[in-house]
């Protein structure tokens, strides 16, 4: 466990404990700082500037004085939070979690299963799938449906959208604050409240394709 101020930017963590007064706790709870809630540190300056935090799709600044009173644990280290009475902590699931920590981008179930089998042939693809499904339910892993009907997974990080190449299948993450603002304006115009959103932009000749063809 660490203080929120010790978490590097772009990392997602569980909120475990808030060590401050009742009034401050209530304010933080209203912002979404709840036990087992996933918080992403967007910016953690080295000076005394506020931390920029994201919870689900909302971003806000929080002072370092308050942030140091929030005790968190990195998202894939909170094993006691991940498992419960229905989903027991097993050596196979722990092994899968440890492998998941090494994933940097998007991956398919088959790609991940092959990596697991290279190191532990006793873990079946069904066990891997069920573990990923559990992590998706807990909000730790996100699933992205592609145009060909396949699914890719990624470890949850700050809110972002995707550019998907229909030719080679590559995925580029992006976030555009103007687009975020526009979506809120559209929701307000139509008098609705957005629960969440995901934008997918599709291309047929991405940079990866052009690099392959030129190579």
pTM reported for the whole predicted model? 0.83
**Structural domain of 200:** 161-214
60 shares its domain with 91: no
Q: Partners of 211 in the beta sheet?
A: none
pLDDT value at 215 more than 70: no
Above pLDDT 90, what percent of the chain?
A: 61
Q: By C-alpha distance, which of 177, 170, 173 is closest to 156?
A: 173
180 shares its domain with 116: no
| Domain-embedded: residue 152 | no
- CATH number of the structural domain spanning residue 190: 3.30.1490.190
Q: How far is CA 194 from the centre of its chain?
A: 19
Angle ∠(133,6,64) on CA atoms, nearest 5: 115
Both tokens of 120, joined, read: 């532990």
pLDDT value at 108 more than 70: yes
- Find the distance separating the first CA and the last CA of the chain, reported in whole Å: 46
Mean pLDDT across the chain, nearest whole number? 91
**Which of 19, 51, 74 finishes a domain?**
74
Q: What is the pLDDT of residue 91?
A: 92
- Phi, psi (5° rounding) for residue 14? -85, 145
| Domain-embedded: residue 151 | no
42 shares its domain with 8: yes
Q: What is the pLDDT of residue 182?
A: 93
- The mean pLDDT of 191-195, rounded to a whole number, is 87
pLDDT value at 54 more than 90: yes
| Domain-embedded: residue 21 | yes
pLDDT value at 2 more than 80: yes
Q: How many domains does the chain have?
A: 3
Q: Are 74 and 98 in contact (CB under 8 A)?
A: no
pLDDT value at 172 more than 80: yes
**Which of 74, 106, 132 finishes a domain?**
74
Q: Who contacts 185 (Cβ-Cβ below 8 Å, separation ≥6)?
A: none
**Which of 74, 89, 122 finishes a domain?**
74
């Amino acid at each position: 466990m660490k203080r929120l101020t010790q978490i590097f930017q772009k990392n997602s963590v569980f909120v475990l404990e808030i060590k401050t007064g009742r009034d401050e706790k209530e304010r933080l709870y209203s912002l979404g700082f709840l036990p087992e809630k996933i918080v992403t540190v967007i910016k953690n300056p080295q000076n005394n500037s506020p931390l920029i935090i994201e919870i689900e799709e909302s971003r806000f600044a929080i002072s370092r004085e308050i942030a140091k009173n929030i005790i968190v644990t990195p998202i894939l280290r909170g094993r006691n939070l991940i498992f419960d009475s229905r989903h027991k902590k097993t050596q196979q699931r722990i092994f899968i979690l440890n492998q998941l920590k090494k994933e940097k981008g998007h991956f398919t179930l088959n790609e991940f299963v092959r990596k697991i089998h290279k190191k532990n042939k006793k873990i079946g693809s069904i066990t891997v799938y069920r573990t990923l499904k559990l992590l998706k339910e807990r909000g730790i892993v996100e699933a992205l449906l592609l145009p060909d009907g396949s699914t890719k997974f990624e470890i949850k990080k700050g809110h972002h959208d995707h550019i998907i190449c229909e030719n080679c299948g590559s995925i580029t993450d992006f976030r555009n604050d103007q687009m975020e603002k526009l979506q809120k304006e559209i929701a307000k115009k139509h008098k609705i409240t957005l629960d969440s959103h995901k934008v997918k932009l599709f291309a047929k000749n991405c940079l990866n394709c052009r690099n392959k063809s030129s190579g």
